[in-house]
Structure 1
Amino acid sequence: MAAATLRWVLQRPRDVPRAARFYAEGHDFSVNVCTLRWAELPSGPLKLTLVHTNDNNLASQRVYSSMLSFTIPDINSTVSKLMALGAVLDGSIKYEIHGKVAALRCIDMLGLYKPA
């Protein structure tokens, strides 16, 4: 079975355009999308995503300041394996048109993606 591959890293700044500008100018990232609430900045095979937050205490509302997303070959077995290691499924596995997605809480927040 193939290993998981890191897909994107999500950060939750209060000012998305400012954060996007910081990474674009400071690290020479290009900006694919930038709105007041969402930005995508590719970095090689990965993507830095920025999602707006105005919460001062993210963890109190089960929202994390960052999230890693992985593309995986089998979502059910990966979720089972991670839950056996102490992760907690945050909601249910979603069956989207583009593939299956799941979020798990553990050391930090993890997102899993199984392409359709």
Structure 2
Amino acid sequence: MASISFRRALLMVRGSNGVASSVAFYQNGLGLTVLRHTDDWAELACPAGPLSPAHTPSISDGAHQQFHLSIQSVESESQLCTGYSPVLNFDVVDMDETIARCVQMGANLDGPIQYPAHGKVAALRAPGGQMIGLYEPAV
């Protein structure tokens, strides 16, 4: 039986300005680490695995694998399909701080923060139009 792992997602944005603004949002709003960045392409990394308030994993933390987010410049409207791209989900340590930072970077909260028994859940639309789910586990 073959094994499989998911480690990368690709977002397509319009032109080089879309790459630059998306990199700024994911780096400064969500704290992802830029691995590569050109006018037409960028790759960012985010630690993968569970969060704990006592220990926020970093990219250099050997105990955690990395998830890579690639951003590619495109010109064709059919390649963008804004609103139909996958929803990206990120675990966060502090929901309120993360939302405030992301809104300052141009994101829009899509509905109120939800408070199910297992934590906090929110949805944002990034400046590039992609939907982002945020989850803060209950302590």
User: What TM-score comes out, normalization by structure 2 length?
Assistant: 0.41
User: What TM-score comes out, normalization by structure 1 length?
Assistant: 0.48
